[in-house]
A and B are shown apart, each in its own frame.
Chain A
Amino acid sequence: MAEIIGGVGTSHVPSIGIAIDKGLVDTPDWKPFFDGYIPGKQWMADKKPDVAVVIFNDHGNTFFLDRVPTFAVGVAESYSPVDEGWGPRAVPDFEGAVDLSWHLVDQLVENHFDPMVCREIEVDHGLQVPMELFFGRPENWPVKVVPIWVNTIQYPIPTPQRCWEMGKLLRKAIESFPGDERVVIMGTGGLSHQLQGSRAGFINREADQAWLDGIANDYEKYRDMSREEYVEQFGSEGAELIMWLVMRAAMDDKVALKHKHYYAPASMTGAGMVVLENA
């Protein structure tokens, strides 16, 4: 059966991708941010997963407001980078883990969790940037992907508790897949940021640090928080952190926090990552 080899939580700020594109990785503004990901990249290289299940939100690039799936699962053979207004980025296409995707869809629906199922769809920086942070910019990605979209744009966004339930189900589904795939789960988004309204530029370094420390083994308070509390603590767009809960819930009750990194601001965002293993 397929095996979950670890869970990663990470920011997916678009300016990270732009910094890579423009060769700014070693500039004073960006070097401390990227350096902090080196242990995470090394961990990924050592663990050699076959598949990355990436939980992220689209940012008005793939889905418009004409149809807003609360959850969506990709079952495509390949996912190209979407044009976000500047033309598609020079990032390789992502090969889909088609059979695992369909198995997850089967299991989710069987267990009364009903995502939109996407057969032909592009992916924005929400998936691209986490992959680049942990796998660099290879000619071909060393893993196949299962993209899972969560609506964090238009209210009502799903509750943190529902994200948690999805993670629990995903684990059962992955571990019942007949294969020997090594699967890493990536929960993405955040950390604190607000891009809209006069509170724009809100960053909560203290809450971010507490999150990075607590998501491993003190997760209950985050699982139980309301959406409104996420917005208050992490800013309106920082509420994306609910997607880390999907990853966290797919791991053991107790986990080992292998790596952690925080840097702020990346553009207008508190940014960072954790790497978790089942203890």
Chain B
Amino acid sequence: MPDPSQIPETPLFDRERSKQGYRMNKMAMSLGKPENRAAFKADEEAFLDSYGLNAEEKTAVMARDWHRMVALGGNLFFILKIAAIDPAVMTEIGAAQAQMEHADFLKQRLGKE
């Protein structure tokens, strides 16, 4: 088992994160079904409540705060399904992780002009 703390700025999805983020990830996983996407769109807060998200988690999801969602144990592969409902492109989500402006992120991290 690698020691995640040794790799900078890299939250490996380990035991603690998996335990912490389980509810949020389960909610996000459910968005793979159209009826759940409809329920999410109809009343987002009620939908999050039905998966037992706490106030902090709900705030992060409802604000589309990708950095915070991951900090709370969200795994990107699950929470990306939120970006399918409320479209955000991958590089914008990446920029949010890096806490950079999108244009700066594209240029400095990805080498795009």
Contacts and interface: CB of A to CB of B under 8 A. Distances in A.
Contacts of A227: 2
Interface in B17-66: 18, 22, 25-26, 28-29, 31-34, 37
B72 interface: no
A236 interface: yes
Interface residues of B, number: 50
Given A65-B18, A197-B9, A198-B9, A85 B76 contact: no
Contacts, number: 125
B103 interface: no
Q: Which of A59, A85, A156 has the most CB of B within 10 A?
A: A85
A176 interface: no
Contacts of A5: none
28 contacts: A60-B75, A64-B26, A65-B18, A82-B32, A85-B37, A85-B85, A86-B84, A154-B18, A155-B1, A155-B2, A194-B10, A195-B90, A196-B11, A197-B9, A197-B10, A199-B98, A200-B94, A200-B109, A202-B109, A226-B2, A228-B3, A231-B7, A231-B10, A236-B7, A236-B12, A265-B110, A265-B111, A268-B110
B18 to A, nearest CB: 5
Nearest to B83: A85
B97 A228 contact: no
A271 to B, nearest CB: 12
Nearest to A198: B9
Interface residues of A, number: 38
Q: Which of A59, A154, A201, A236 has the most CB of B within 10 A?
A: A201
Contacts of B93: 195
Contact of A195 (B8, B25, B97): B97
Contact of A65 (B22, B76, B109): B22
Contacts of B25: 60, 64-65
B95 A201 contact: yes
Interface in B74-113: 75-78, 80-81, 83-85, 90-91, 93-95, 97-99, 105, 108-112
Contacts of A201: 91, 94-95, 97-98, 105, 108-110
A278 to B, nearest CB: 33
B28 to A, nearest CB: 8
Contact of B9 (A59, A83, A199, A267): A199
Contacts of A226: 2
A92 B75 CA distance: 29
Nearest to A228: B2
